[in-house]
Amino acid sequence: VSNLTVQLPSALWLQSLAAPDIADMRQVLVHYAFLPRLAVSLLCGAALGLAGTVLQQVLRNPLASPETVGVSAGAYLALALATLLSPSLLAFGREWVALGGAFVALAAVIALSWH
């Protein structure tokens, strides 16, 4: 699945993108499994790049990244505290707990760096 040319011949790429032949399992797999994952990964990469750029512009620091300013550590801390102190919060999903911790850490960083 990692190599598209092995999975599907290049002559069938356009057909599998627009209207896959339901009888050909390779086209169905590419259309319903490979292409959505590719689109989501490209969107996530663009969003992460944009988030890094916004963070650098807001803090006016070209070296700022979520790791260097502590946003990642805030997400890890919130997840660890929720696991130890209130496991019922994990029913909503670990991602939401980590996202909340990251937002709190980002707000603290912006509040401390605001002039």
Q: Among 32, 60, 88, identify where a domain stops.
A: 60
User: Which pLDDT tens digit goes with each residue over 88-112?
Assistant: 999 989 999 999 999 999 899 889 8
What is the pTM assigned to this prediction?
0.63
Mean pLDDT for all residues in the chain: 87
Q: Which two tokens stand for residue 96?
A: 């939401």
The 3-state DSSP class for residue 2 equals coil
**Which whole number is the average pLDDT over 76-96?**
93
Domain co-membership, 26 together with 78: no
The whole domain housing 11 covers 1-60
Is it the case that residue 2 has pLDDT exceeding 80? Answer: no
Cα Rg of the chain, angstroms: 21
